Structure 1
Amino acid sequence: MALSESEFYEAGMSLPPGVRRDVALRLLESLDPEDCATAAETWLETEVVAAYDALEADPTRAIPADAARAHFTRRWAARS
């Protein structure tokens, strides 16, 4: 039985964090390095540029580095 992309994602997200990390790393290692570079470049050209442009247009949206770091630390701790 083949899983759809969303079914595969949901199944993966139900795994414990350590297993999910190992599976993610194995999947990344299975990709052609050029495909990874293309995906990273696409991400930079779309999402990162859009986020930068939005921040430049409205600097009040900026979050202090300490607050961002604390946010991600809490999110990481909640995953364990």
Structure 2
Amino acid sequence: MTDEKLIGEIFAYFANIGVAAINLSDSLKLGDKIHVIGSTTDFIQKVKSMQIEHKPIDKVKPGDDVGLKVDDRVRPKDKIYKVL
């Protein structure tokens, strides 16, 4: 089994643009692999695009709220894990 660390939770999803709004409890950067898990959600993807206040960024620190482009539909309260 792959090692994973809980790094955040989704608080909103914008289906029209495929972006999840996430509150992070740990750092995250472009290229990291994440695992999104919820009651009906379960997929792994690489971080390809992130924004804070509509500005593209390469990395975020704990406590930041970030918009993250996701490959599949997500729901509020879904958990975000960093694949280690």
TM-score of the two chains, using structure 1 as the length reference: 0.15
Whichever of the two has the greater Rg, that structure is 1
Q: Provide TM-score, normalisation by structure 2.
A: 0.15
**Larger helix percent:** 1
